[in-house]
Amino acid sequence: MGMNTDTEKQSKLSHLPSDSGHYGDFGGIFVPETLHVALKQLTEAYQTAMNDPEFKNEFQRHLSEYVGRPTSLYYAERLTKHVGGARIFMKREDLSHTGAHKINNSIGQAMLTVRMNKKRIIAETGAGQHGVATATAAAKFGLNCDVFMGTEDMRRQQPNVKRMQLLGANVVPVESGSCTLKDATNAAMRDWMGSSDSTHYIIGSVVGPHPFPQMVRDFQAVIGIECRAQCLDQIGRLPDIIIACVGGGSNAAGIFFPFIDDHDVKLLGVEAGGRSDQLGDHAAPLSFGGPGVLHGSRSYVLQNKDGQTSPVHSISAGLDYPGVGPEHAHWHKSGRASYTSCSDKDALEAFTMMCKIEGIIPALESSHAIAQGIKTARSMKPDQVVVINLSGRGDKDLEEALRLLDDMT
């Protein structure tokens, strides 16, 4: 997976990253020297594991028996009729154990932790989904687990805090900066700098220094691998377009990557457009930001003219992040994937529509992809196919969504 040389055809992107962890101009390793040994060890452990059939089989077994994979590819018939355009299919990641795609990555990295003989895992979390997934994997593999979470997010996502604690994890409150996801990420990286001998840091998205963006993508690629086979099986062909929400970008990378060399399949990422396109009002670095360095890699970021990270806003805590994975930056720049943004308001409307028309409560994150999916499908022909990655379920968002809907009416 992604380990081939740079000599492959230019039009193919599946061979990336390079050995040095670069995706064209993006990616790399921008972290203090202290982490060099840990990252090198991780890269080696990961490469060995991915070439070990036993590791792959065990990973598949956990995904099937524990996570409940494969998740279905669902034809949203009523939504399709309601919209009146292309046929809309949904990849049902919301049906995974813990309610979102995040668990795929946490299981894979927890298995690596055991292989590296480390006893403790740490993670950052915003909405709490990655924290819950990692706490779950920690319980399953008998590892100690500390989850760093901004105090502002702890307030907004109380049920997930309780869930992590119930699963035996220690939730470490982070009270610096904006007290949200980026600060939790800083805190986790700092912990790791002093603890990497005994601790593995499970980053929750396709961000951070190499090999994290590649590793998380590969653990999430099961989404796209399944989806590709299901499309051929159920529809008899590949879809015309795949749409996924993008915060750090792990669910999007997971579903896009197995299609990356299928040039007839369009890929569309949807960022959090928030309240407006003004800096501070959204969380859409590919749409409104520019190249920058944050949390260990070069990608697109939201920052001011001095390189200071900007505040971000989204109704969805899981998309509320000022950066994005470096591979998305490369897909964006190379034109292989397109990226757009969806406002808070449109995401909420899609959230409601999905509940009423399909009987599915989607996560607010996924609602961004659904809103764009509806818009895109409407402009397409009935014989065309749109796949939306329904990355997670919305139970965690009920309180916030109801409050916001109240405010709107």
Q: Which residues of the chain form contacts with other proteins (CB under 8 A)? A: 20, 28-34, 36-37, 176-177, 182-183, 186, 189-190, 193-194, 196, 291-296, 298, 301, 303, 305-309
Alpha-carbon span 332 to 320, nearest angstrom: 20
How many C-beta atoms lie closer than 10 Å to residue 208's C-beta?
A: 30
Provide the residue count of the chain: 409
Residue number with CB closer to other proteins (163 or 295) = 295
Amino acid at 28: G
Catalytic residue flag (residue 198): no
Q: Which of 102, 118, 182, 396 is catalytic?
A: 102
Residue number with CB closer to other proteins (245 or 283) = 283
Helices (H) and strands (E) in the chain, counts: 16, 14
Min dist. Cβ of residue 97 to other proteins (A)? 32
Q: Which residues contact 331 (CB under 8 A, 6 or more apart)?
A: 13, 256, 260, 267, 337
How many angstroms from the chain centroid is the CA of residue 320?
12
Alpha-carbon span 159 to 167, nearest angstrom: 12
Catalytic residue flag (residue 391): yes
Min dist. Cβ of residue 154 to other proteins (A)? 19
Residue number with CB closer to other proteins (25 or 400) = 25
Min dist. Cβ of residue 49 to other proteins (A)? 23
Residue number with CB closer to other proteins (22 or 368) = 22
Min dist. Cβ of residue 34 to other proteins (A)? 4
Amino acid at 114: V
Residue number with CB closer to other proteins (239 or 322) = 322
Q: What secondary structure does DSSP assign to 167-191, as a single string?
A: TTPEEEEE-STTSSHHHHHHHHHHH
**Cα Rg for the chain, rounded, in angstroms?**
19
Catalytic residue flag (residue 176): no
Q: Which of 182, 327, 391, 396 is catalytic?
A: 391
Min dist. Cβ of residue 186 to other proteins (A)? 5
Is residue 328 classed as helix, strand or coil in its secondary structure? Answer: helix
Q: Which of 91, 93, 118, 124 is catalytic?
A: 124
Catalytic residues: 102, 124, 391
